Every structure is written in C-alpha cells, then in structure tokens.
C-alpha cells in the first residue's frame, strides 16, 4: 500500500506537469515561454511530451500491477471480515444490563433501521453494512479499471490534426462542418491567449454550436472534441496582372515558387516576425516569437531574366516581375486543430468505471459495517469504525424507556 501511494503521487506529479506545461511544441517555443534554462530542463526530462515518456509508461504499468496485487491479496481477508465481525460482537463485553422492555425497544429500533437480525447462541445479533468491507477493494478495482479503460481510450481514439485558415471550413467524417471564424494569439491586453472561435454545424444542418476554443477548453460536438492544438502565421500576397485585369490573393505557409512562364517569378522563402535595425543601417531578422508578428518581414527571391535577387519586403510593398505585380499583405495567424473522437463503447465504459469509483468511495466512507448483540445481559456494538452517533442514539433510547 505504501509503495502504491508513492507510485500514485508520482503519477499525479507527472500529470500536473503535463497539464501545466504545453505539450508537443517546438523547442524554441519552450525557450520563449520559460527561458533557456527551464526549457533545457523540460526537454531533458521529456516534460514536453510527458504522457508518452518511458518513465510515465513504466509508472503507470507499475501502478496497475500494484493495484492488482493489492486487490488480490486483500480479497480473502475481506470475504472473511463479516464472520469475524459477528464473532467479535458475540464475545464483546456488554455495556449494561437490559430489562425485557429495553431489549425489545432496542430490537425494534434495529429492525426499523434495516439491520439484519440473526439468532446466535440464544442471543439476537443485528448486522448492517457488511458490504462496507468491500469498499477498499472496490476503490482499488475502480482505480485499476480507470487506468485500463483510459489506456484503451487513448489507443482506440480517432485523432486528426488539421491546419485551418480563419474563414475556412473543415468537414468531419460524419459530415459535420467546423468553421474557424477567427483566431488570435494575444487578447486585448497583449497577454498570450491562443484561442479559436469555432462554429460547428451538423451534416443535416439541424444542430449548431459555437465556442471560443482554447488549449484545455475544447468544443464538444456529436461525439467529437475539437482542441486548440498548435498555431502558425502565414504570409499573404496579392498577384495582379494588369494585362487581363486579374487579381488573386494567396496564403503561403511554406516555401514556393510563383511563376507564369516557369522561368521568371517570385520565390517565397520565409516570413520573419520582426527585425532589428543596427546603427549601421543593417537589418537583423528575428527568427521566432511566441506572440504576434509585430514587424513582419518577407524573405523572397526575385527571379527575372536568369538573375536571382534576394529581397526583404514589408507588408504594403509591391514587387513587379515582368507583367506581374506581387504585393505583400499583412500576414494571417491560423490555428492547428486536433479533432478527437473516442469510440462510444469505450467512452461508456469509462463513465461506468467512474460511477463505480464514486459508489466505492461512498461505500468505503459512508457504509461502515456494524454488528450489535442484544440480550438480557446487555448489548455490545462492534465496528471497524467509531460508532459514536449510534451509541448516543442507543443511550437516548434507553433513557426514554426508563
């Protein structure tokens, strides 16, 4: 039991770490969030992906084995506990002598309160809540089942990670549609707050739900949970062709070459969140940030007439290559959503196990077994827990009888 408590505390500590530290992010984000020293510790201990770390899996397996052994070793003694309690009540010294009327009054009280009456050696024995002996066993069993069913839920869950631009719609396997109305990295005060405003519509259009989704505040809809998982910032540019009056806006999430003839065009390399201009006028690009892009810079290459020219462009600037004009626009931040669905049978089993745990805790703490022997020689109350309330009731009852 002591070893089991140590294992449980370690699992809880790891779970808290997994809840407080954002999981499965790039190393630079941990540096930006927690500082270089703390980020080094987080990455070295695997706290960036706690629930998949080998030590966490070992702890969970050891806890399962411990709970199983505890349950098995305690069960035989638990099954014999009722007989021991009866024997203790029969051999316990009586508290006081009882008259015929008092004994009858006590017997009527116990029958009224649903004690089971048994005749033993010419004495009346009243027992109640013998199921309370199984409370501890059921608590151990429910813990074990929660771990087993929880692992089954993780293994069998349908998980899909999807990048969705604000304004775009994602269609789920059951036909329901999830629209990203908006996404923000910071709130109105400038505090980091990764949040997506989502709208969900069922396949038949009859059911609708909307919610501002954050990392630990998912949207639940038709058996799915949609989480705010990651985020990114994409470049945007407008392509104009004056010759035919066409105009097109493109969103750029990775390097690409934009060309009409296969030779000349614009090669998009990267988007930087900001820059620092030195006293000599040179520009040093800021490689990463955990917040919004305050001074975005486009790193592009102009390819024309067989010559390639590197260019740093800012939103609002236009680069003309041949007959095509490329205008840099303000970048757009977008969310990475995690869509998760647990099989209904597994989810039902998980709820059933939690109900079992609640029932086990109730039995363990609120159904203490008790046995009372009543005879002319007096009465005796025996229980593994203190029965102060019952003893006071019995004393009051006997005083009223006098």
pLDDT tens track for 90-100: 888 887 778 77
Average pLDDT estimate for 247-274: 91
Got the DSSP string for 21-58? S--S--HHHHHHHH-HHHHHHHHHTTGGGGGGSHHHHH
**Residue 377 pLDDT grade (very low, low, confident, very high; cuts 50, 70, 90):** confident
Top pLDDT among 397 and 127 is at: 127
Q: How far is 99 from 118, CA to CA, in rounded Å?
A: 20
Amino acid 402: pLDDT: 53
| Mean pLDDT across 111-137 | 89
- The Cα angle at residue 200 between residues 196 and 205, in degrees rounded to 5: 160
Q: Which residues of 268-291 are buried (b: 16+ CB within 10 A; e: fewer)?
A: bbebbbbeeeeeeeeeeeeeebbe
Rounded CA-CA distance 320/243 in Å is 13
In tens, the pLDDT along 174-228 reads 899 999 999 999 888 888 888 999 999 999 989 999 999 987 899 999 989 999 9
Tokens of 29: 């984000």
What is the pTM for the complete model shown? 0.63
Among the listed ranges 83-87, 124-128, 280-284, 359-363, which one has the minimum average pLDDT value? 280-284
* pLDDT band at 334; cut points 50, 70, 90: very high
The C-alpha atoms of residue 43 and residue 29 are separated, in whole angstroms, by 11
Q: How confident is the model over 283-328, as pLDDT tens digits? A: 788 887 778 898 999 999 999 988 999 999 999 999 999 889 999 9
CA-based torsion, 217, 193, 167, 250: positive or negative: negative
Q: What is the average per-residue pLDDT within 251-255?
A: 92
Give residue-wise pLDDT tens across range 277-287: 878 878 788 88
CB 333 within 8 A of CB 194: no
């Amino acid at each position: 039991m002591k070893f089991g408590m140590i294992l449980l505390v370690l699992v809880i500590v790891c779970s808290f770490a997994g809840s407080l530290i954002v999981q499965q992010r790039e190393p630079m984000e941990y540096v930006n969030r927690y500082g270089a020293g703390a980020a080094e510790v987080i990455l070295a201990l695997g706290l960036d992906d706690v629930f998949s770390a080998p030590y966490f899996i070992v702890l969970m397996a050891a806890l399962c084995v411990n709970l199983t052994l505890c349950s098995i070793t305690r069960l035989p003694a638990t099954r014999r506990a009722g007989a021991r309690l009866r024997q203790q009540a029969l051999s316990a010294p009586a508290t006081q002598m009882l008259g015929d009327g008092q004994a009858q009054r006590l017997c009527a009280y116990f029958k009224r309160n649903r004690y089971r009456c048994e005749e033993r050696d010419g004495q009346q024995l009243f027992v109640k809540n013998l199921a309370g002996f199984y409370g501890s066993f059921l608590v151990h069993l429910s813990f074990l089942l929660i771990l087993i069913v929880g692992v089954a839920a993780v293994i069998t869950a349908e998980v899909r990670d999807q990048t969705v631009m604000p304004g775009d719609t994602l269609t789920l396997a059951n036909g329901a549609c999830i629209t990203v109305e908006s996404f923000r990295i910071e709130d109105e005060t400038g505090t980091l707050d990764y949040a997506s405003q989502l709208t969900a519509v069922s396949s038949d259009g009859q059911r609708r739900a909307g919610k501002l989704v954050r990392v630990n505040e998912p949207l639940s809809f038709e058996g799915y949970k949609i989480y705010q998982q990651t985020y990114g910032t994409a470049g945007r540019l407008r392509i104009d062709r004056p010759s035919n009056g066409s105009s097109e806006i493109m969103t750029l999430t990775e390097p690409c070459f934009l060309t009409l003839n296969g030779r000349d065009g614009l090669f998009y390399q990267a988007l930087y969140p900001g820059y620092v201009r030195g006293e000599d006028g040179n520009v040093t690009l800021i490689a990463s940030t955990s917040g919004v892009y305050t001074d975005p810079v486009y790193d592009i290459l102009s390819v024309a007439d067989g010559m390639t020219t590197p260019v740093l462009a800012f939103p609002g600037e236009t680069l003309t290559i041949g007959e095509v004009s490329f205008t840099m626009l303000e970048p757009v931040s977008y969310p990475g959503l995690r869509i998760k669905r647990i099989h209904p049978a597994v989810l039902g089993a998980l709820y059933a196990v939690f109900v079992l745990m609640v029932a086990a805790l109730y039995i363990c703490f609120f159904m203490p077994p008790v046995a009372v022997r009543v005879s002319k020689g007096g009465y005796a109350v025996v229980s593994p827990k203190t029965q102060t309330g019952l003893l006071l009731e019995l004393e009051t009852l006997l005083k009223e009888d006098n």
